[in-house]
Amino acid sequence: MSPGRLTVGTVLSVSTLIDAHLAQASGLHKRFGDIHAVNDVSLHIDPGETYGLLGPNGAGKTTTISILAGLLEADGGTVEVAGAQIRPGSTRGREAIGLVPQDLAIYPDLTADENLKFFASLYGMPKNDAKTRIDEVLDVIGLSDRRKDRVSTYSGGMKRRLNIGIGLLHSPRLLILDEPTVGVDPQSRNAILESVETLSEEGMAVLYTTHYMEEAERLCDRIGIIDSGTVIAEGTAAELTSSIGEQERMRIEISGSVDEAAHRMESAEGISDVAVEDRAIVLLTDDGSRRLPDVIRRLSDTDIQIGSIDISRPDLEAVFLHLTGKALRE
Ligand SMILES: Nc1ncnc2c1ncn2[C@@H]1O[C@H](COP(=O)(O)OP(=O)(O)O)[C@@H](O)[C@H]1O
Ligand SMILES: [Mg+2]
């Protein structure tokens, strides 16, 4: 059902008609002991919109969406989805949400078909509706040709896709995906991204969490950058990148101490931010090619070996680095 189209017999609360947002989280807080996992998060998702929550591990993405989906009680704040307040234990509004957690909830000894049938019956879907919907879902997740095979024969990525299929069965208006491509093979990764694009074209709203800026850039109409439990910037990818001006991002893979390498960059001219990754340092610079000789000179000695140097136009990684002084992937 498309928003705002009323037919006789349709039950729509008045607030849905007045408020165009499909989902609205306001002032969410969640603490785990000393950790302020979610610290005053507010965001909204409009019908048909794909919203990305982009942030590193531990930023608070899973906690935020768990509250949004009514799985976890917030310490403060409110969530409204499709005109209903969402709280653990309440059922109103829940049917509008399809949550796909990272952990798999599928039976390896059953086929994809059997898994989907099982979950459809669990949701109380009439058999004929379920049959049609299962065909549609298998098509979207690209598993139609493997539907009769046992899930235990699937790759990790195919299992993840089936997990998404289960979240789609009841045709939610808002699909929430928690880092769906982490740890999957490239083929499944692409299939998952294409599924999200297809669902979005069909009008489904999507909340997509990721720490991959390429995915946020490709899929999302709007992106909230989250770090330490707080959404520190929000906008389209273009708005976010233009907010840091003409800075370029330089990523230098090295062998040797990344901390030492980062330290040597701190006083370099034209370098505004420096962060370390596992085997690389990342810099923001006003002019990559002009600063390159100085950067190389500062790094060249026997302790540090440069593997590769990459200079990119301003992107979401650069925005994150600029805002937090950290790399998105540590
Ligand atoms: N059940 C829990 N108990 C204690 N700490 C938690 C729990 N869940 C999450 N955290 C902590 O809250 C912070 C945010 O976690 P999470 O929402 O899982 O981040 P993300 O999904 O962005 O990686 C982290 O510091 C994490 O260790
Ligand atoms: Mg998470």
- 295 in the same domain as 181: no
Q: Is the pLDDT of residue 206 over 50?
A: yes
User: Residue 27 is part of a domain; what is its CATH number?
Assistant: 3.40.50.300
85 phi, psi to nearest 5 deg: -70, 130
Model confidence at 317, in pLDDT bands (50, 70, 90)?
very high
- Is residue 37 within 6 Å of ligand 1 at its C-beta? yes
Counted domains in the chain: 2
* Domain match, 103 and 250 both: no
323 is a domain residue: no
Confidence at residue 328, expressed as pLDDT on a 0 to 100 scale: 87
DSSP three-state, residue 231: strand
Give yes or no: residues 257 and 124 share one domain: no
Nearest residue (by CA) to ligand 1, atom 2, is: 32
Query: Is residue 98 assigned to a domain?
Result: yes
User: Which of 30, 34, 39, 63 has most ligand 1 atoms within 8 Å of its beta carbon, as the pocket-test mutant?
Assistant: 63
Is any atom of ligand 1 closer than 6 Å to the C-beta of 32?
yes
Residues 85 and 194 in one domain: yes
Tell me which of 194, 225, 240 is where a domain ends: 240
257 and 308 inside one domain:
yes
Question: Residue 313: is its pLDDT beyond 60?
Answer: yes
Q: Where in the sequence is the domain holding 26, given as residue range(s)?
A: 14-240
Contacts of 285 (CB under 8 A, 6+ apart): 247, 248, 249, 250, 270, 271, 272, 291
10 pLDDT more than 50 = no
Q: Between residues 65 and 301, which one has the greater pLDDT?
A: 65
pLDDT (mean) for 4-24? 58
Shared domain check, 105 and 253: no
Residue pair 311/294 in contact (Cβ under 8 Å)? The answer is: no
Q: Give the ligand whose atoms come closest to the C-alpha of residue 178.
A: 2
Q: Is residue 9 part of a domain?
A: no
Note the pLDDT of residue 250: 95
DSSP percent split of the chain into helix, strand, coil, nearest 5:
35, 30, 35
13 pLDDT above the threshold of 60: no
Average pLDDT, the chain: 92
Q: Which of 92, 138, 91, 136 is nearest to 113 (CA)?
A: 138
Amino acid type, 108: P
Query: What is the reported pLDDT for 245?
Result: 87
More confident residue, 245 or 99: 99
Question: What's the token pair of residue 181?
Answer: 């491509």
Distance of CA 251 to the CA centre of its chain: 23
Measured by CA distance, the residue closest to atom 26 of ligand 1 is 58
Between 5 and 224, the more confident residue is 224
One domain, residues 63 and 168: yes
What tokens were used for 138? 């298998």
DSSP string, 202-220: TT-EEEEEES-HHHHHHH-
Residue 8 lies in a domain: no
* CA separation, residue 50 to residues 43, 174, 230, 252, 268 (Å): 12, 9, 20, 32, 40
User: Per-residue b/e over 187-219, b at no fewer than 16 CB within 10 Å?
Assistant: ebbebbbebbeebbeeebbbbbbbbbbebbbeb
CATH code: domain of residue 262: 3.30.70.100
Residues 207 and 302 in one domain: no
Task: Give the neighbor-by-neighbor strand order of the sheet with 248-255.
Answer: 271-276, 280-285, 248-255, 305-312
Check whether 7 has a pLDDT greater than 50: no
Share of the chain above pLDDT 90, in %: 83
pLDDT digits (tens, 9 = 90+) for 60-106: 999 999 999 999 999 999 999 999 999 888 888 889 999 999 888 89
Give the pLDDT confidence score for residue 1 in this predicted structure. Answer: 40
- Whether 81 and 143 map to the same domain: the answer is yes
Give the model's pLDDT for residue 5. Answer: 44
